[in-house]
Structure 1
Amino acid sequence: MEYLSLYRKWRPKSFSEGFIGQEHVVRTLKNALALGKIAHAYLFSGPRGTGKTTAAKILAKAVNCRARGDNPDPCNACPSCQRINDGVSMDVLEIDGASNRGIDEIRVLRERVKFAPVEGDYKVYIIDEAHMLTAEAFNALLKTLEEPPSHVIFIFATTESHKFPATILSRCQRFDFKRLTSEEIYRHLAFIAGQEKLQVEEGALRLIAAQAAGGMRDAIGILEQAAAHAQGSLSAADVRAVLGLVGIEALFSLGEAVAGRDLEAAFRLVQQVETAGKDPALFARQAAEFFRDLLVLKLPGEQAPVRLEPEATGRARELAEKIDATLLKNGVESFLEAGMAIRRGTEGALSLEMALVRLILEEPGAEAFSERLAALEERLDRVEKAVQALTGAPRTVSREMEKGGKAAPKEGTAKTRVPEAGAPGGEAEEALAPETRRQARRAPEAPTKEAETDTGETPAPKKRRQETSAQTRAKAGKGAADTGAAEKGDSATGQPGDFPWWDRLLEEMRGKKRTVEALLKEGTPRSYRPGRLVVAFAPGFRFHCENIKRPDNLRLVEEVLSRLAGEKITVECVLEEEEDKQTSGNEPELVQKALSLFGGEVVKAEEEE
């Protein structure tokens, strides 16, 4: 007896026997048959291998079956059903739309539909791959579809219904066939394997179901091919060998390399895949699916099904715990992009290697940075509220000072006193010192005022020569470097306005790298000398300072800044607490507290004799 392929042998013969996964289609057609409400044109649309042509043949048998009675299913025993099953019926014509797509073929079809059926009640035309018909052919068929003979039924089967003209779609009853789930395919494959006396491992069946992409015909074909390859029981390794997939160990090695940030090991794996002759696009798809499974296993709560074999799930769960969820998500995206690049013609190994470079060497994700930034802003808000509770309204004073004005007290208001050591609130003052120091350094140097007594009385005025510490330093060191800095406008106050390219630098960074712009916004240009800019960050912004210091970020900032300034500029990032120790470490504790709360600098005062 001639051998019959498994997918043909197990093709459903009726709606009720073996027609898997298309309940919405089956129910509608069976009800229409039971009620005698048969349409003159049907459109069966859906992915390959989902049962479109099979449903068309079952419908053709049902409308011409002589023995079905009230049963909507064909009997498969009468002469009409048997001839249709054998493909020799003169009343059911199956036409390939890809090879009969022209207007001449459709004109011949229009002439044939006039003839009555030979055996049954209906003449059924099944046009497969109907989307391949030309526009002229569709137009020629339009009139026949609009007013067909009562004995004719057209059934169009297609995988691309969007290519149909709207005038054709409006004259057909449309049924959309869906992809079958992996579980539906697995159960049907297990049934077929049992009937065919095949020894198949569960992992092999589940792998076939996952690789079939929702098509039952493809799944049965893979099962038949893998069974011929296997020696004894069919295993998942046999399925991988037939399909050209890499082994599960290679996928776990890839996961371990990503978890350990081992780019060298990952590159070696890509070379092994290429040497073994595996399809790089298929490997990229496998890697994306593997990282997806790891991500599913890592997520809490009820989990979606994974495509791994049952015996590998426990090991995969342990590997997932070693890798951050964001990194797993990026892995899925990177390998999907690599697969698309390979299909567009990019060299396979190169695309895979670049995907691994982006995955292993990428900087922290924007989501993690946003969370860190939000936490820092929340801490800053708490500090500002504490300052207001302690000193009245220091933020208003600070903003006035930042604008260049002198924070003069209003008439009738009490002068703020410096809290004595050990007074209540001393602990809060310590915590607020870094923020207040930052405000003090941003404020321009204001003329000093004579101190007032606690009672408000002003002592007799004396002429004083006042010399700021900055002036003292200028007198002490009159080197060429300091002179050059003064000519350039040395920004000792640290105001962005004193550094002319700061705002433009932020604008450039916004277009080139938003994360660097966000980091720089929290810094202040402290001083600028020819070829060197010092950017200071508050103590709470160590994360920002360290990330700007990263070679790639620092190089980008220096390149943009040098282009804006027209000269080579290097950037140095410092934390303000480091400068505080250098400038105020020798002052008494009470003086430091006064400086931190009210701003200013220590001055030397000499009386004239």
Structure 2
Amino acid sequence: MSHIALYRAWRPQTFQDMVGQRHIIQTLQNAIRENRVSHAYLFNGPRGTGKTTAAKVLAKAVNCERGPAEEPCNECDACRGITAGHIMDVVEIDAASNRGIDEIRDIRDKVRYAPSEVRYKVYIIDEVHMLTSEAFNALLKTLEEPPGHVIFILATTEPHKLPATIISRCQRFDFRQVSLEEQSERLFEICREEGIEAEEDAIAYIARLSEGGMRDAISLLEQVAAFGGSRITLDGAVDVTGGMAADQFYALAEAIRDRNVAAIMPLVESLTQAGKSADKCMENLIFYFRDLLVLKLAPQGAVTERVVDAERFRGMADAFSSERLFKMIDTLNTYQSDMKHASQPQTLFEVALMKICTIGNESAGGAGSGGDAAASSPPAASAEVQRLRQQVEILERKLEQLIQNGGGAGSGAGDGGAARQPASPSRRPGFGGGGAAVSRSTVKLDPFVAAAGSPGTGQVRMKWNEVLHRVKEARITVHAWLVDGEPVAATDSTILVAFKNTMHRETTERPAHREIIERVMQDVFGNPVKLATCMLKEWQNAASRSGEQEGETLELQPDAIDTGEEQRPQWVEEAVKLFGEDLVVIKEDN
């Protein structure tokens, strides 16, 4: 049986057949029984939860020849005609393709005429949020003064896009996601009727993938059944839907737990060879670590439906600290957002996995020997983390090459040696084209040292997090380099940022990156601001020299000073140039 035939065969024909919406069904049935049917309804909720189906069942219930009845008989001419779509008085409109004012005007012109075949004219407008503003205005006029023989049923997944004037004239019903238990029960019922043998884990897996949509669950069931024939297994369901098996989850988590990058790369390659997409693997991995975190923070009351082997899963949860899991999930979520626009999602997935291998070094309280392996020998762990950071840095360089406009493909081969051997601090290869060195500006630190304690510097430091956030929104890769630096001083038109890492500083100073940062700083501070950079050690040395000289002011005798004029002797001017205006004090000779 094809998917369409299977879905149609199991599409609810009465309120009683619907799954998971008892509160809505009871309300509608009470209204029909008491003859208090409204002229307009708004059905909203996630996809596949029964909004359009409920609208059609309601249309049959109010027009049933044996009613109006709480349940349509599905035997009379009216019920069978509405089910088949032959009754002209029950109209279903897809607002996604009929969203203009002309279509709504046509409805407005026709509603004045009485129904010809059944008791009520029923207009079902699906995806109503897609209507234009003009169409909403035309619909509003009809909803304000509706004829007594017309019922409007609006269905949408995004009610927040509807005008408040439309919502206020409708009875609103919020359809919820169908629970896993209700979905599994209905899927087992379908399998029994269709003569399909299904494993309980496979049905639970299909129900979880549908994310609360009964329609999606039936679609996935048909897809898996077509693959497995008369028997549905968990492995078959995982293969067909492109998910990751429990063993693959465990192997990846084990490698991440032990910070074993060498084991991660073959695992990712095997997933790729098996046809698993990088974005789907990333999504599944986030769910996996989320379940580990839930099990760790609420071991007694937590219910993680994705768990297949509970003991094995609990052991893996004990191997991680909650702090590390939080950081790992945050990191994976960040990379998942970047993957939507990446030309090489697999590379980004590999970088994300290597990144979370380097997160934290804390012991996972109560963990087994695997979880504390990194913490048991600090010297070895430190060397291992350093090695991993270097590998991540190499991958980040490759990623930066791929992101650049047309520059990455040409420079990949030529820069291979530079990627394996760290370049000298004074001259590192650039990422953009052919290995040319990035020019680094020379900054005189004395004016910035003098301004380090100024109110302007304090204001910059308070707003720096906002600058980083806006840079991240503008371009995530620029934020990755800029976050290594910190603002140490600010003059009227320039902000000095000190970096710990030479590569981060050089990459930040690239013209394209500098332009983005300076544009963001102008937006944040309200005036044009230039970016200046230095190494943190240089700044610390300059600040310490200034501290040593503080209090040792040079006293000069104004022998040739004419106090009545603004001019000063040449040697005084030279002293001011050498030590700065603030450190030179001229005293009168008593």
- Asked whether the two chains share a fold, i.e. TM above 0.5, the reply is yes
Partner of 2:177: 179
Pick the aligned partner of 1:563 from 536, 539, 558.
Answer: 539
Q: Kindly provide the amino acid, as one letter, of the partner of residue 225 in structure 2.
A: A
C-alpha distance in structure 1 between counterparts of 2:167 and 2:364, whole Å? 46
Deviation (angstroms), 1:301:
4.2
Q: How many residues were matched structurally?
A: 394
Pick the aligned partner of 2:353 from 335, 356, 364.
Answer: 356
C-alpha distance in structure 2 between counterparts of 1:40 and 1:164, whole Å? 18
Displacement over 6 Å in runs of 4+ = 365-368, 506-513
User: Does the Cα contact within 8 Å between 1:48 and 1:215 map onto a contact in 2?
Assistant: yes
Deviation (angstroms), 1:3:
8.6
- Would the alpha carbon gap of residues 258 and 176 (structure 1) be closer, same or farther in structure 2, given more than 3 Å must change? same
C-alpha distance in structure 2 between counterparts of 1:109 and 1:87, whole Å? 18
C-alpha distance in structure 1 between counterparts of 2:353 and 2:291, whole Å? 18
C-alpha distance in structure 1 between counterparts of 2:362 and 2:162, whole Å? 44
TM-superposition CA deviations, 1:87-136 (whole Å, max 9, x none): 21122111111111111111211111122112221000101111111111
- Would the alpha carbon gap of residues 75 and 511 (structure 1) be closer, same or farther in structure 2, given more than 3 Å must change? closer
Q: Kindly provide the amino acid, as one letter, of the partner of residue 24 in structure 1.
A: H
Deviation (angstroms), 1:179:
1.2
* 1:314 and 2:311 aligned: yes
Pick the aligned partner of 1:212 from 188, 210, 213.
Answer: 210
Pick the aligned partner of 1:343 from 340, 343, 361.
Answer: 340
C-alpha distance in structure 2 between counterparts of 1:202 and 1:552, whole Å? 54
1:487-506 to 2 correspondence within 5 Å? none
* 1:68 and 2:67 aligned: yes
Q: Secondary structure at the match of 1:90?
A: coil
C-alpha distance in structure 2 between counterparts of 1:89 and 1:226, whole Å? 36
1:78-89 to 2 correspondence within 5 Å? 78-89=76-87
Partner of 2:368: none
* 1:14 and 2:11 aligned: no
Partner of 1:266: 264
Deviation (angstroms), 1:552:
8.2
Partner of 2:32: 33
TM-superposition CA deviations, 1:305-335 (whole Å, max 9, x none): 223353x222222222222222223333332
C-alpha distance in structure 1 between counterparts of 2:157 and 2:177, whole Å? 12
User: Does the Cα contact within 8 Å between 1:291 and 1:328 map onto a contact in 2?
Assistant: yes
Q: Secondary structure at the match of 2:198?
A: coil
Q: List runs of 5+ in structure 2 lacking aligned partners.
A: 366-448, 466-499, 506-533, 546-590
Pick the aligned partner of 1:192 from 190, 193, 206.
Answer: 190
User: Does the Cα contact within 8 Å between 2:243 and 2:280 map onto a contact in 1?
Assistant: yes
C-alpha distance in structure 2 between counterparts of 1:31 and 1:249, whole Å? 51
User: Does the Cα contact within 8 Å between 1:207 and 1:309 map onto a contact in 2?
Assistant: no
C-alpha distance in structure 2 between counterparts of 1:552 and 1:367, whole Å? 30
C-alpha distance in structure 2 between counterparts of 1:2 and 1:271, whole Å? 35
C-alpha distance in structure 2 between counterparts of 1:134 and 1:317, whole Å? 52
TM-superposition CA deviations, 1:543-592 (whole Å, max 9, x none): xxxxxxxx989x99x942422423999xxxxxxxxxxxxxxxxxxxxxxx
Deviation (angstroms), 1:2:
9.5
C-alpha distance in structure 2 between counterparts of 1:203 and 1:193, whole Å? 14
Q: Kindly provide the amino acid, as one letter, of the partner of residue 37 in structure 1.
A: R
1:484-523 to 2 correspondence within 5 Å? none
User: Does the Cα contact within 8 Å between 1:203 and 1:309 map onto a contact in 2?
Assistant: no
* 1:149 and 2:125 aligned: no
- Would the alpha carbon gap of residues 510 and 156 (structure 1) be closer, same or farther in structure 2, given more than 3 Å must change? closer
C-alpha distance in structure 2 between counterparts of 1:132 and 1:510, whole Å? 43
User: Does the Cα contact within 8 Å between 2:121 and 2:149 map onto a contact in 1?
Assistant: yes
Structure whose CA Rg is larger: 1
Partner of 2:573: none
Partner of 1:443: none
Q: List runs of 5+ in structure 1 lacking aligned partners.
A: 369-499, 514-550, 570-609
Partner of 1:529: none
C-alpha distance in structure 1 between counterparts of 2:323 and 2:300, whole Å? 19
Q: Secondary structure at the match of 1:228?
A: helix
Pick the aligned partner of 2:238 from 237, 240, 255.
Answer: 240
1:397-476 to 2 correspondence within 5 Å? none
C-alpha distance in structure 2 between counterparts of 1:242 and 1:565, whole Å? 62
C-alpha distance in structure 2 between counterparts of 1:47 and 1:255, whole Å? 32
Deviation (angstroms), 1:347:
2.9
321-330 or 228-237, which deviates more: 321-330
TM-superposition CA deviations, 1:399-420 (whole Å, max 9, x none): xxxxxxxxxxxxxxxxxxxxxx
Partner of 1:283: 281
Partner of 1:472: none
Deviation (angstroms), 1:54:
0.5
207-216 or 172-181, which deviates more: 172-181
Identity %: 42
User: Does the Cα contact within 8 Å between 2:224 and 2:232 map onto a contact in 1?
Assistant: yes
Q: Kindly provide the amino acid, as one letter, of the partner of residue 340 in structure 2.
A: R
C-alpha distance in structure 2 between counterparts of 1:165 and 1:232, whole Å? 49
Partner of 1:122: 120
Q: Secondary structure at the match of 1:5?
A: helix
User: Does the Cα contact within 8 Å between 1:65 and 1:80 map onto a contact in 2?
Assistant: yes
C-alpha distance in structure 1 between counterparts of 2:148 and 2:96, whole Å? 27
C-alpha distance in structure 2 between counterparts of 1:179 and 1:200, whole Å? 23
TM-superposition CA deviations, 1:369-396 (whole Å, max 9, x none): xxxxxxxxxxxxxxxxxxxxxxxxxxxx
C-alpha distance in structure 2 between counterparts of 1:21 and 1:103, whole Å? 35
Q: Kindly provide the amino acid, as one letter, of the partner of residue 536 in structure 2.
A: V
Q: Secondary structure at the match of 2:118?
A: coil
Q: Kindly provide the amino acid, as one letter, of the partner of residue 29 in structure 2.
A: K
Q: Kindly provide the amino acid, as one letter, of the partner of residue 313 in structure 1.
A: A
User: Does the Cα contact within 8 Å between 2:199 and 2:232 map onto a contact in 1?
Assistant: yes
* 1:223 and 2:199 aligned: no
Partner of 2:373: none
Deviation (angstroms), 1:511:
9.7
Q: Secondary structure at the match of 1:157?
A: strand
* 1:106 and 2:95 aligned: no
Q: Secondary structure at the match of 1:77?
A: coil
- Would the alpha carbon gap of residues 84 and 44 (structure 1) be closer, same or farther in structure 2, given more than 3 Å must change? same
Q: Kindly provide the amino acid, as one letter, of the partner of residue 272 in structure 1.
A: S
